[in-house]
Structure 1
Amino acid sequence: MDQRTTLTQHIKAPADSVWAVVSDIPGSAATLSGVESIQLLTEGPYAVGTRWKETRAMLGRSETVEMWVSQCEAPSNGRGGSTTVKARQGGADYTSRFTLAGRDGGTDLTLTFGASLTAPTRFSRIMLTVFGPLGLRVTRKALAKDLAEIAAKAESL
C-alpha cells in the first residue's frame, strides 16, 4: 500500500542556488520552519550516504527520524539535478525525490514524496484506508510550505 504525492514550485533562481539550499542539511532547520533540529551523523559534503537525524513538528508533535541520501546528482553545465532522500520509521518507508529543471530563467523544483508500509497488518491497512487521505492532505500542505521556504531562501542568495 503506497501513498504518493508530487508538487512543483517555480523558483526565480538558477538550479545551482536551489541545489545549494536543498543540499544544505545543517542549514535546513534555519530554512524550513517545520524542522526543529538537525543532527548530522556523517561528515563531508552532501552525497550518497550522507545521514542525519531530523526533528520535525507535525500535527503538534515532534518526531525525530533518521534520514539518508540514496541518490544524488548535482546540477552541472546548465542541466538540472536530482536527489533522493530516504527514511524508515514505524513500519513505513519514506522516499522524497527532489528534481530540478530549468524553466523561464529560473528552476522548477519538483518534490515527489512517497510512503509505503513495509509489513502491513490488517489493522494498518484499515487505518491507511480510513486516515490515509487526511494524512496525505496534511503532508501535502507541509511539503508545499517546505517548497515555498526553499524558494524564498534560494531567491535570496
Structure 2
Amino acid sequence: MAGHIIHVHTTIPAPPDQVWDVITDVAHAGDVLRSVSDSELLTEGTYDVGTTWRERRTLFGHHGPEQLQVVESEPPRRTVVEAEVGHDVIRTAYRLTPSGPDATGTRLAMTTTVEMSHRSALSRAMWSMFGGFSYDRTRKVLEHDLEDIEAEACRRATTP
C-alpha cells in the first residue's frame, strides 16, 4: 500500500550530464542539499546499482539517519534509490530529460513514494488521518532539493 506519492519537477539550465553528476555525488549530498545534514558513502566505486550510503534527513515524518541504496541506474537519464525506514520503504525516482532548443537544459522530475504494506492496520489508519501533515512538509523538502540541485549544477557549470 502506497502511503503517499509526491511528484515534483523543474527545468534546470544545465545539461543532463551535469545534473546527473550532482544527483549521483551522494558523498557530498550534505554539502549540496539543505535537507541532508550528513552523508556517508558506504560502498566503493562509481555510482551504480548497489551503491549504498547513509544520510540524515527527515522525510514522511521519519527523522534521523537512513541507509539508501541505488536500485536502478540508467546514466544520465534515470535512477531510483530506496531506503527502508522502520516498516516503510521510501523510494525516490529521478528522471532527467534534455530540454531547450539545443538540449542544453534538463527537465528533472522526482517521484517519491512511501510504501506502507508492512504497517499494522492501526498504523495505516493513523496515517490516513494524520499523514497529510508529513506529506506537505515532505513535498516542501523535495522542492528544496530541486532548488539545491539546480544551484549546484549551475555552480559547477561556471567553475573551471
TM-score, normalised relative to structure 1: 0.91
Counterparts of 2:11 and 2:141, CA distance in 1 = 17
Structure 1 stretches lacking a partner, 5+ long: 76-80
Residues 50-103 of structure 1 show CA distances to partners (whole Å, capped at 9, x for unaligned) of 00111125699951001000000112xxxxx00000000111011000000011
Query: Which amino acid is the alignment partner of residue 126 of structure 1?
Result: A
In structure 2, the residue matched to 1:147 is 146
SS of 1:20's equivalent in the other structure is helix
Structure 2 stretches lacking a partner, 5+ long: none
In structure 2, the residue matched to 1:95 is 91
In structure 2, the residue matched to 1:78 is none
Question: Structure 1's 136 and 61: CA in aligned 2 closer, same or farther, altered over 3 A?
Answer: closer
SS of 1:136's equivalent in the other structure is helix
Mapped pair 1:129 → 2:128: yes
Q: How does 1:28-107 map to 2 (within 5 A)?
A: 28-57=29-58, 62-75=63-76, 81-104=77-100, 105-107=104-106
In terms of fraction of residues, the more strand-rich structure is 1
Question: Structure 1's 61 and 5: CA in aligned 2 closer, same or farther, altered over 3 A?
Answer: closer
Counterparts of 1:71 and 1:58, CA distance in 2 = 21
TM-score, normalised relative to structure 2: 0.89
User: What is the aligned length?
Assistant: 152
RMSD: 1.7
Question: Structure 1's 21 and 44: CA in aligned 2 closer, same or farther, altered over 3 A?
Answer: same
